[in-house]
Amino acid sequence: MKAFRPTIPPAPKSQAAKPVPPAPGTNPAHPALTACGRWEGTDLILCVKVHPRGGKFGIGRVVGDALRIKVASPPEDGRATEELLAGLARTFGVRLSCVTLIHGAFTPQKLIRISRPAKLPPELMA
């Protein structure tokens, strides 16, 4: 039997060996960002907690080690997750294909990879 392999390949060793600065105009030392996310090369890995049926899409504050995010969609058939990924793509200024769900497809706690974010929301800079 073959060993399980994750669907997301690890970063190339050449990229992981040298430190790559975060997105332009950002400071990775902000407490909110370091509490809920980390940089892997040029990718931002975020831990989020989704609150479905919360009204309009909105990024809240960091609670524990997760960023609270409200979405309007109900948690049925993956609609809340789809809205979350689309909202994060708009917020970080990237295409939808640059936002990947790593873990937590059917749970409120999710781990998300954002490839080369163009900007960071002010909620993470507080």
At 64-110, the pLDDT tens digits run 889 999 999 998 988 999 999 999 999 999 999 999 999 998 899 99
pLDDT of amino acid 15 = 44
Q: Which of 1-10, 11-20, 63-72 has the highest mean pLDDT?
A: 63-72
pLDDT of amino acid 9 = 53
Please state, for a pLDDT cut of 90, what percent of the chain lies above it.
45
Q: Say yes or no: domain 35-121 is CATH 3.30.200.20.
A: no
- What is the C-alpha to C-alpha distance for residues 30 and 27, in angstroms, rounded to an integer? 6
- 24-65 residue pLDDT tens: 445 555 666 778 888 888 999 999 999 999 889 999 888 888
- What is the C-alpha to C-alpha distance for residues 48 and 66, in angstroms, rounded to an integer? 5
pLDDT of amino acid 17 = 37
Q: Give residue limits of the domains in the chain.
A: 35-121
- Which contacts of 21-30 are long-range, i.e. CB under 8 A and separated by 24 or more positions? 23/116, 23/117, 23/118, 23/119, 23/120, 25/119, 25/120, 26/120, 26/125, 27/125, 30/124, 30/125, 30/126
10 Å CB burial of residue 56 (0-12, 13-18, 19+) is exposed
